[in-house]
Every structure is written in structure tokens, then in C-alpha cells.
Structure 1
């Protein structure tokens, strides 16, 4: 008999030793938006007989004294005196169970419950004995306070919530240390039977309140609560109603992306005791963008559009503020796909990177005239079938001409461009560059909206490329330089010039704004995809419109289809309307000077070249030097001492409102003359405009384009320095 007994004892000791450690699942995060509004929570999923089951919480906690007292009052009154097993409770339970055939009295201590929660098993006598031994071992090894903290980390509070830290946030949206006595009593009542005491249904709430009253009475008897506190707590508990259950917003694609990113990349610096993960999403903005998208998408649906995606990113921070993954998750064709991450033909949206690369590698100059003319060797034509002839790079890119872009790609080299686009994160294709050929410039290389926004962040960020940031603690490498600052700024200025977009994009349409915006549209072959990426001083916005089956749409382009939505979003972001006027623009490359160039020849404006464009050229270049020939020394002295244009300011950029009355679309011209003279003559674009008293304000009606203002004296060679402005 001794040998079997020793064998049983050895098995028992081994099982107790194997369980005598404190173990807990990893804390599960609650995701909020950037302002703390509930977004979703991520849990531990497991299979269950009745289907999928998710557990939340397990936040480690230092038990607040009041919470500990309430829990011990209900679950283990002699916790501080027994070694993990309560002999008194065991004897009482045994007597009660023998005396009654129906009643079963338990004797589980806090430590025994910890052992059971860590290693759940069917409730046999052997299992109970192992739990008792484990309880003693845990208490001896870690001490009572650690065992109590473990209990309050693991104990279930119903509705998937585990641990007092999570339950306090889940039910009352506050830390456990801030719970009132009434709230503590209610939560302490739940663990004995979470389903029976579920506070989210009326019957369960009533039972939890009744059990909570018992806890308060015990605490009052122990002197833990004074008479006034007890009366207040009883009244509050009786009247208690729970705040509404936090609901996930209607942004399932966003939630699923965040869930996958957290599972794949992890979280750096998350506080496990209060595992709220703050994302960079702005739920208020997310809802506004969704409403704007829904309103404008409805008009495109009749032309064959069936899906869309929108993203908003902080320009300086790279933080993702809003992301709409589809036109409707469950109620649109293919709506379950997240089109912010879907690879599609990008149309012309890769062209800006080719121009930036060409500038960087010095195979293109901003003042170089390039040909938009038929070229059969390219195998590519313009989308409109026409040609603009000789154009400046600013015009070629702003008009999204295919022939100049393909020719530029040939000059750069397929392999070089292909590698550069990969370095920008726009693709990870295993195919060789030759597989795509020159059509890479017009959309043959697939990419996705989120990849585009990341790469365009380098253009908008002075050449620095960094990951898009979705949540705090997201592992991300520091931004690194992929383009020279001057090249990124030059391309930004190309794309921010409404005048340069003519004639392909009409003025005052979906691609024009009352503030400085750089943008690039894209339309894939057969109108299968319509894109736009646009950025202002503060925001970067990307829009894609298409179909789930990649079929054609009826003439929906990036400029008209996607452009209208991007415009609505940016106007909302800036809190303005299309007819407002806002000063400001994008910075020019360091060490450059503005030069008005003849659009057809690239030479400085001599006053007789027709259309002009304002270009930024190196300050020491020959063109910049000859753009403003220096007057004779005596005339320069007279200019400096006698005449100057006070307003408008040199190199200012102004916007004309076509819907405003003519009296409002004008510029005030003011001059300074020392010593005083009887009259001055105002010259606009080299032609006399008005004769006026030097102190008189003259008004000039605005006209789009680049303009030059000077003041002269009627009977003197003196002339002011020219002031150039751009009217859009």
C-alpha cells in the first residue's frame, strides 16, 4: 500500500509544483481615437462550444485598498490569516454539504480561485485537491498581496471583461482607483456568477445590486465604511444605472487594419495597467469624410462607379487622421475589401516622382522646353489625343501629358526609375523593369492608395520619406531622405500652379482651391480607376474611385470624379469655402529666385512673349541674372531714393473670385515718392495704366496670370524696381 500511496503523492506534488506560478494572458488593448473616444478593443479569441469567444482585459493592477476590502468581504474574509486554504470554511462547507442533499456550499479561497482560473479543469475531487495545494504553494511563494493582485487581474466581470482595471474602464470609464463605494460593491458582486449578475440586463443588475448591498453591510460591520459613507453608498447603489455600452463606430475597415497592424507590429510603450491604445484617427473627421464621400459618390454611381477609398494624413506628422476603406462594407459590391490597400493601376499619379528623379539626376531643368508632340518610338499617346507642342516641365506635369513623361522616363532609364519607385515604397514587384516598360509612366505599375500617400509624403515633406503613423507606439523607422529638398519643393510648386494646368484642367473647377494646394490626378486606361492626391499646408488627402470588378466607368476621371471629393474634404479640413481667399503658398527651393518665363521658349519675359509662367531658378543662373536687367547706376540711385511700390508686395500670390462683383476683384496700388512729386505714372506689364497723385490709391482690376508693376515719374528717367505678382 505504501508504494501506490507514494506514487499518488508524487503525482500530486508534481502537479502542484507545475502550477505554482502566477501566470496571466497578455493585457488586451482598448483602442481610442486621438481624443479618447472609443474605437474598439482587441481581445484573445478562442473557440467555444457555442462559437467564437473573445476575452478582454487582464490588466495588471496594484489593488486599490477599497476594492480589495470589498472583494475580500464577499469572497474570502479570512484571507489575511489562512495559508491559502481556509480550514474553517472547509469544515463548514463539509458539514453543510452532508446536512443538506440539495445545497452545495463552497470553500474556495482567493488563492484557490487563482489556481483554478490559471488552469481551469472539470470540478473533480482530485482537481480541487490540486487547486488547494497550488493555493498554498502560491501564497508561500509570492505572498498574499501578489495573489490578491493576480486574482483582481484574472477574475471575470462578465461580457468578456477580466480584471478590475479593465472592468472599471469598461463599465464606468474610469480607473479602478477612482471607483466609488457603490461602483465597487456592484463590480465585486459580479465574479461569483458573471452571467447571473450581468449588469447589462435588468435582472442581472438587480441581483448584482442585492449582492453588492451585502458587501457594503459587511464592510460597515468591519468598520471600513463609516455610517454616512454607508448610507450614501447604499442610496447610490440602489439608483445606479450603467453608462451606455461603448460601441464600435461604423469604420470596420479601419478597425480591422488596426487589429492586424497591432498583431503584426506590436505596441511600444503601452501601459499594461491601463492598456488604452490611442490611435491617430479623429473619429469626428472620419464621420465627416464619410458623409462627404457618400454624398459625392452617389452622383458618380450612375456613371458606373461602385467603390471608393479616401485617406487623410497630417502633412507634417504623417499621422493617419481618417481612412474610408470602401463605399460600404456589407451593402455595396465588393465592399468587404479595403481599397486603401488594394493594388490598382495608378494612372498618372507616379509622374511627379519621375520629374523629381529627373531633376535630381540633372537630366531635366525647370526652364527646359520639352516636346509634347507625336513620337511613335514611345508607343504612348496623350489621353486626349492632342498635343500642346513645346512646353515647360511645369506645364507638362501639371497638364499630365503622357508623351513628355514617357520621354523623360526613357532619359532616366527604366531600371533607375523602377528602383527609385521601389525605394519610395510604391511597389515590391518581382517582375523586371522591362516587363512594364515606358508605360510605367502612365499606370502599368500597380500600387495602392496607402502606398501613394506614403510616397507623396516625401514630396510634401521636402524629400523626407517616413511610414504612415496609425497609432501611438507603432514601431516605425525614422524618416530618411529620398529626394533633395530643392527637387521636392520644385515639383510641389509645379503641382500647385493652377495657371500651369491650363488647358487640361479648367480654372475654378474641382482642382482649384482658395488656398495653396499641390495635386496630381490619375486616370487609368478605360476609366477603370480615378485618383487624386492633394496636399495643403496641413493635410495630405488621397482619393480612389473605381469598381470592385475592375470594369470600366463612364468617363469618370481623377480630376472630375476623385477631384470633387478631395476638394470637398480639403475645404472641410480648412473650414472654408471655395469662394474664400487665403494668402500663403509653398516654400520655394533655397537659393532660387522667381523668374517670369515665356511658356513657349523658356526665356525670360521680355514683355512680348505671350503666356508666361513664374518659375524658380537658381539665383546665380544666367536666366535669373538676365530676367531683370540692371538699370544705369544713376537711375538705380534715383529709384532707391525716390520711387517704390508699396503695395502689392513682391512675389505675392492672389486669388480672384469669379463670382464676386468686379469692385471686389481688384488690387490696391500704392506708391512711395521721396522727395514729393506732382504726379506718378503706374505701369502694368510694361504698359501705362494710370496717372495719379503720389498719395492716391489706384485700383487695378485683377486678371489671371503673372503681372509686373512699376511707378515712373512723367518727366524723369527715375523708375521703381518692378514688383511681380501671380493672380489665380
Structure 2
């Protein structure tokens, strides 16, 4: 019998020891002060609430807001909190025996009024690891509270409570609640405001101060707290009277609501996560963004309004960025039509790689000017020859054009030829320096189609790069917040080139005939604009800058599908126009006598669009070009000339040139001479420009002759047209209909193949 009793005692002791060890292990695991990262609050550029970025609970998916640290314990808040929550806080070690005894007595039914026994330390344990309110969990909280107090000290535990205590409406911690409800630091709270806030943690839902019934309960409990402070002689009678009166008159603000801009908030989340935006104060992590909330709302509304009108053409999504031209500050961003909407709305299309269409062309022209490959008065050929299989969006060719016209008309062939002249690798590196890509892929992978959109890029990258054109060649990062460290801007192109490209993109006359006047590309004040449309109408772009802003718009589909002939000029440019009108406050009929700054070392010259020469009042179609003194073009000597190096020739005039023509080799044999026409291409469809007088519609004729001979004869429709050096092009006045071209040698039988074309 005694042996059995001994075994029972031993077993019970082992169970007790095991239980104590398990209990000690559990509370040791819990007794840590978990310090969540501060929750940033975002304000717009005028100080209006934008959002706060909370912490996601991976287990529940819940997002909790408002964890702010305290650099030092606010004395008045401490006194008020302890008066309500734990009067003997500095007398016990985490568990108040008196409060436990009182609660047990009340719970046994001796009195009808119930009260809890949770101390500040126990509440910290519960807030750090929320669990159901059972007896076992209460025991764990008690042990954890004692160990927290012993391990960290009372001040640290109290600071943790004031950081984690729930103050309703997603706000945790007194510092955050002071900012959320009263927009002030916790040290500036009045006794009335302290009383109100200190009342909330007991029951944040019942005492929600933003609801009338909750505010009434919080005020009532706040009055009780003030009476306790007066009784404890923490405040004087005069202070108490003022605080009671202020508490009765307290007015709570409307709860700040996050705007409909989730993509924008997520961008700030990512920028802070990457360390690109750092709050100036760890204890009060306020972020002063560059966003203009009013403009953000207007741009969002405009984007949705215009996209609704394009749904029938297959457009499903839109992305917009608006940037201050002077400062590079982002004023508005729309990532998609709706984050929670259909058609892949959760994607941020300001950060998505898409084909940029023709929006890279201004940088190709800029690089050509920088490398000395191009001058403003050079003639670029928009012809099938040399196009490497690349055509124009309208499937037509406009012939010889000034660079101003070629870029403003967004012609593909001149841009492709410029890219070839500058070099694929050189251009590829230049576009990388502009931040338009970060690829290590060889430039040959994209080839000449890089000029028309084969190199993918992002809307935000394009806006940043266009900022270099808008700001005299200086490239700088987009600025998203006052707290964002600013890097020095870098010069990527010269001031001269930047202003020259700007003059091209802002010249409505130069856009003819591809873009008609007074459409979506024209403004009553200076605006430089470039549109782009990718292959298959998958992407429509418009990039523009005015005196005030840089605006970028993309329109497309989340599934990368095709749209029904949705061009940049017909869609994205219209939205850009509406946004710029909103920024400038422009109304119909407004006109502004203004212009972009001109290149300082260039002079305006009236240039004939046919040949790039200065006009002597005989050329009927001209453009004003900005030319350096050393690039000053010659004056047109007389009316329009079909060709400067050749003339129409009667057949018997060939004989007079024959004495210099080599009919035989040195050994007396006849040389084998290869004749071919390189331009125009066989069966070309040529479009006659209706905007130009007939005399100025010309087609360049080019020959390929091996070996070189002094002269060749051009035949058009079987009739001799011109005698010229084979290395010099001939310009044929375009005439409607079908035509045949051939070259021959004087007094020789060699001829080229006949090249048929059709002119509309």
C-alpha cells in the first residue's frame, strides 16, 4: 500500500514538474517584445491624407495599421492610461494580486459588477499573440506578463502597450491615433484629447469615436478618467474643469479615406521596400508625396471615361503618368482602369513592358544629330528602297522629306535608315543609358525594327526619358516623395539637340500630311507630342510635354491582344489632350502667344521642303528650320527643279557626251557592265502628296552600276528622261498612273530590267 502511494506521489511530482517545465517553455517563447515596423502615413503634396501602408497578417490576410514607436514615454498619456488600465503598474511584477482577487470575488457572484484582472503586461502578451479568452490562455498571459516585466522592465512594457493598444479604425498605438484623429504629435495632445483616446482601448468597437454612439461612450469614459486624475491629484481643479468642457465640445474629423489609387499606393510600398523613400523620422514615419489628389481623381475619371468609349474597338486597359516638367515630381498615376476590375486590372500598366511603337523615334533622331550623322536641312527618303522590309503605318511613301517632317509624320523608313547610319549597338546603348531598357541581349536580336517598337519598355521609363527632351537634355529620376533622395541629373544629349527635337515635335505644320491640323495633336499653346502604335494595334501610346507637365498614356489590353485599328493619335493622344487641358485650365477658343525655347546657336531660316534649300520667295511650300551658321543652306536659284544633277535630255544630246565614254577595255575587249535600278522597287505603290504642288512631288531614282561609268540614261515609260552620273540620284516629278523605269548606256546595248510602279 505504501509502495503504491509512493509511486503515485512520484508520478504526480513528475507530471507537475513536466507541467511547470512546459509552462515555463511556453511563456519563455511568448515573453518577447515584438516590435513591428512603423506604419507610414502618406500625404499628398498639399498635406491631404493619401493612404497608410499597413502590415499583412499572412495567416488571416488581415491588414493592421498604425504601429508607431515612441521615442520617449509621454508623461500625461502614461498617467491617464495607468489611471484607467493598471493603477498599481509600478507596484507589481506583471500580475496584480489585488486585481486578481477582486475579479475572482466578482466572478463568483458576490457582486453584480464584473471587472477584469488584466494588467498592462498581460494585455501586451495578449495583443502580441491574440487567442480566445479561456482560463488556460489567461494563465499563459499572466506568466508571460511577469516574464516580460522581469526581462525588459516596466518602462519597456508600458511603451509596447502604448505602441500596440488598439484605438479603433485600424489605428494601433497612441502616437498613430494622435496623428489619425487629431493630426498632431502625441506630445501636443490636450487633457481632453488624452482622456478621449485613453478610453478607446477598453473596447475599440463600442467606443469608436467616429460613430455618434461610440463617441458618446468614449466621452463618458473620458469624463470618468478625468475625475480619477483629479482625485489622484494628477491634474488640478482648473485643468480638470477646462478638460471636461473641451471633452464635451470635441469634434472628430471624418475618417480619412484612401483614394481609388491602389496601384499608386503599391508603388509607394515598393519604393519604401527598396529603400528609395525613407521617412525622416522613425518614430513618426510620415511620407509627403508629390501626388496632387485632385488631379489624381480627375485623371482617373478621364482615363475611365475615354476607355469606355474605346471598348468597342477592343481596348481594355489604360495607364497614365503625369509629371511636373519643372521638378520631375509625379503628380498623378493611373495603373489600370480598376485594380479589382476585369481584364487583368491588377497589373500596373505604368510598370509593364510593352512594345513602344514609334515613341522611340525622337531618341534615334537625337542621337543622329549628336553624332553628326544628320543636319536639319538634309533630305531623308521615305521610299521602299532601303526599308529592309519595313513599311509605314499607312502603307504609303512620301518621298524626300526634311528631318522635321519625317519625325513629325512618324515615317518608319527614314527612322530605320537613320538607325542603320548611327549603328544598332550605339543606339541600343544610348537607349539603355536613357533607362528605356536594362537588357543584355545583343542589339542584333532586335535589328532595325528597334526604330518602330521591337524593343520593349515601360510607360514610367518613357516618361523619364522624354523628361530629358523636355529639360534641355538633362535626365533625372522621377520624384515620388519629399523624402526620396535625389540624384544629380545627368546630361544625355546636348541642349541644342533637345531643343531641336522639341521644335520638331511641337510643329503642327510639319505633321502634314500624315496628321491633319486641329486634331488631337494640336494645342492653343506649345506642346511637343509623339504618338506610337505597335504591330497589330496591340499598344497605343502618346507622350507629350508642355510648359507645365509631361504626360504619358498607354492604351491596350491585358492579354496583349489586338485592337481594331486603335492608333496612338486616335486614342491615347486624345486622353493626353484632355489631361493637359485640365492642367492648364484651357477652355475652347483659348490661345497663347508662347513658344518653347529655341536652340541658342541657331537661326530661323525658311527652307523649301522639296530640297532643303533656303527659299528666295519662289518656293511655294516651306517650313521654318533652325540652322547653325555653318549649316546655312543654299538659296533656291529659280523655281522648282526636278533634279539638281540631271536634266531632261533629247536623245541626240547623248552623242555630244560620247567621246569620254569607255567603249572598250585597254586590251580592246568590251567591258561587262551591270545595270540595275535600286530605287524605286519593283511594283511599288507610291502615294502622291496632295498637300504639295505638283512640281514638288518627286520620286528619287537611284541606279546600281558596276563597274562605274561616267554616264547613264534614265528612261521613263520608254522615253529618255535624264542623263546623269550613276552615283547621283535623279528626281522624277510624280505623275499618277502606271509607269516603267529603265536605265541604259549611251551607244551600248546594256540595259537594266524594266521596273514598273503605280502612283496613286
| Shorter-chain TM-score above 0.5 | yes
From 512, 521, 535, the counterpart of 2:531:
521
TM-fit CA distance, 1:135:
1.2
- In structure 2, distance between residues paired with 1:13 and 1:338: 50
- In structure 2, distance between residues paired with 1:384 and 1:129: 80
Q: Which residue of 2 aligns with 1:43?
A: 54
For 1:38-77, what per-residue CA distance to the aligned partner results, in whole angstroms no more than 9, with x for missing partners?
222111111456x534243223253444322211211233
From 536, 540, 544, the counterpart of 1:534:
544
TM-fit CA distance, 1:580:
1.8
For 1:580-600, what per-residue CA distance to the aligned partner results, in whole angstroms no more than 9, with x for missing partners?
222332222342222222222
From 32, 35, 52, the counterpart of 1:24:
35
- Tell me if the contact between 2:31 and 2:145 (Cα under 8 Å) persists in the aligned partners: no
- Tell me if the contact between 2:320 and 2:333 (Cα under 8 Å) persists in the aligned partners: yes
Bigger mean CA deviation after superposition, 466-475 or 159-168: 466-475
Aligned-pair Cα RMSD in Å: 3.3
Q: Which residue of 2 aligns with 1:182?
A: 192
Q: How does 1:206-221 map onto structure 2 within 5 Å? A: 206-221=216-231
Q: How does 1:333-482 map onto structure 2 within 5 Å? A: 333-375=343-385, 378-475=388-485, 477-482=487-492
- Tell me if the contact between 1:61 and 1:149 (Cα under 8 Å) persists in the aligned partners: no
- In structure 2, distance between residues paired with 1:573 and 1:622: 39
From 173, 176, 194, the counterpart of 1:166:
176
For 1:589-642, what per-residue CA distance to the aligned partner results, in whole angstroms no more than 9, with x for missing partners?
3422222222222222222223222222224x1517989xxxxxxxxxxxxxxx
For 1:127-184, what per-residue CA distance to the aligned partner results, in whole angstroms no more than 9, with x for missing partners?
5234224314433xxx74x554343222222333211111122233333234343332
CA separation of 1:155/1:577 partners in 2, compared to 1, >3 Å: closer, same or farther?
same
TM-fit CA distance, 1:502:
1.5
- In structure 1, distance between residues paired with 2:595 and 2:481: 30
CA separation of 1:377/1:264 partners in 2, compared to 1, >3 Å: closer, same or farther?
same
Q: How does 1:277-676 map onto structure 2 within 5 Å? A: 277-375=287-385, 378-475=388-485, 477-619=487-629, 621=630, 623=632
CA separation of 1:423/1:386 partners in 2, compared to 1, >3 Å: closer, same or farther?
same
Q: TM-score with structure 1 length normalisation?
A: 0.77
Give the secondary structure class of the aligned counterpart of 2:377.
Answer: coil
The structure number with the bigger radius of gyration is 2
From 125, 129, 132, the counterpart of 2:146:
132
- In structure 2, distance between residues paired with 1:305 and 1:292: 15
For 1:640-698, what per-residue CA distance to the aligned partner results, in whole angstroms no more than 9, with x for missing partners?
xxxxxxxxxxxxxxxxxxxxxxxxxxxxxxxxxxxxxxxxxxxxxxxxxxxxxxxxxxx
Aligned residues: 621
- In structure 2, distance between residues paired with 1:349 and 1:302: 25
TM-fit CA distance, 1:100:
5.0
Bigger mean CA deviation after superposition, 281-290 or 177-186: 177-186
TM-fit CA distance, 1:200:
4.6
Q: Which residue of 1 aligns with 2:277?
A: 267
CA separation of 1:622/1:427 partners in 2, compared to 1, >3 Å: closer, same or farther?
closer
CA separation of 1:348/1:106 partners in 2, compared to 1, >3 Å: closer, same or farther?
same
Give the secondary structure class of the aligned counterpart of 2:500.
Answer: helix
From 65, 82, 90, the counterpart of 1:72:
82
- In structure 2, distance between residues paired with 1:22 and 1:304: 55
CA separation of 1:377/1:67 partners in 2, compared to 1, >3 Å: closer, same or farther?
closer
TM-fit CA distance, 1:229:
4.4
- In structure 1, distance between residues paired with 2:303 and 2:65: 35
Bigger mean CA deviation after superposition, 174-183 or 558-567: 174-183
- In structure 2, distance between residues paired with 1:58 and 1:377: 62
- Tell me if the contact between 2:106 and 2:112 (Cα under 8 Å) persists in the aligned partners: no
TM-fit CA distance, 1:349:
0.6
- In structure 2, distance between residues paired with 1:333 and 1:175: 43
Q: Which residue of 2 aligns with 1:720?
A: none
- Tell me if the contact between 1:306 and 1:548 (Cα under 8 Å) persists in the aligned partners: yes
- Tell me if the contact between 2:52 and 2:65 (Cα under 8 Å) persists in the aligned partners: no
TM-fit CA distance, 1:85:
6.0
CA separation of 1:618/1:545 partners in 2, compared to 1, >3 Å: closer, same or farther?
same
- In structure 1, distance between residues paired with 2:608 and 2:76: 80
Gaps of 5+ in 2: 1-9, 637-760
- Tell me if the contact between 1:47 and 1:53 (Cα under 8 Å) persists in the aligned partners: no
- In structure 2, distance between residues paired with 1:293 and 1:86: 61
TM-fit CA distance, 1:86:
5.3
Bigger mean CA deviation after superposition, 9-18 or 456-465: 9-18
- Tell me if the contact between 1:111 and 1:136 (Cα under 8 Å) persists in the aligned partners: no
TM-fit CA distance, 1:514:
1.4
- In structure 1, distance between residues paired with 2:126 and 2:152: 12
- Tell me if the contact between 2:27 and 2:143 (Cα under 8 Å) persists in the aligned partners: no
TM-fit CA distance, 1:312:
0.6
- In structure 2, distance between residues paired with 1:188 and 1:542: 49
For 1:365-402, what per-residue CA distance to the aligned partner results, in whole angstroms no more than 9, with x for missing partners?
12211212221552111222222222111111011111
Q: Which residue of 1 aligns with 2:45?
A: 34
CA separation of 1:208/1:47 partners in 2, compared to 1, >3 Å: closer, same or farther?
farther
